Structure 1
């Protein structure tokens, strides 16, 4: 299989991943650059390993090492982790696939299609997760859920207490909830105050 064709397929795929999917939806320039750099870097190394006769096991080991290094360097949201692994997969797919250009193209398209659907704004758009600080110390689970539902105006599916501070009269809770159907589009005006970024 022509190395030039493989390179073209990878560049088109990662370009679509970053500039057609990730950046228009999330607008983080630093991660857009990171995804491009990771993809092209992995593609170059995997191509060299493939040309030297290295097995797929070595390529997968490289995949794992790069994943550990990248994920330990900064905290990423789960959707950013998904894009990161998609960029890695696209970079390593062609050089180590050992298949026809149509197989590589089809698998790359599959990665892009799943990412497009999985991160689509309309998919499960009523469901939210936040880490919140409540200005009341509440230890009773039923009372906590009732308080959160009144505060959020939404149905609470899970409320995991992370800390109850009886001195400062606060509760830190990881809450998963769904907005009512009538408020599904009012994201900007209905977001509660968070203790930090959703993890």
Structure 2
């Protein structure tokens, strides 16, 4: 895909959605960190249901530590892998209290050292909470980048590096939100909704899905 096509793709994404953000609900960097940690192999909708109950009761590292592991589990038990996630949340909260005064650190190295926090989670926090132009590649972004040929790669690291290189600089901060939303609602896994796609004419996916009868 050439640079002119990529530029027009992201220009259209911005025109359609000028201020994209995560669908996870949060009001502080800490709430975002915990929501993203809980969202691994779970839906944002499911995580939001749990955090809507949890955050009014405990939304700081110390408050969650005071809650205790067993009580925390009652709030997140509907989320997949909640036992492991609960332990990671508690361990992360302890580190934040002990080493960072209860604040979320701004560095990638510090974030990735927290239990249950990998590169993708760190990228989301750095981008969404702290405004850094990072690229958090999830299954949606990996699919869209490869299917459209915006930034094809064999694994998430390769796709991340290509997107950081190829996405026009002025669109880089919001790019991962646009790509996630596009993959979640339009360029879906089984049958992409090509007939209802704002970048249909620019996308290099050949077997475009025709509109269903009556669409």
Structure 2 length normalisation: TM-score?
0.33
Larger radius of gyration: 1
TM-score w.r.t. length of structure 1:
0.34
Q: Which has the higher strand share?
A: 1
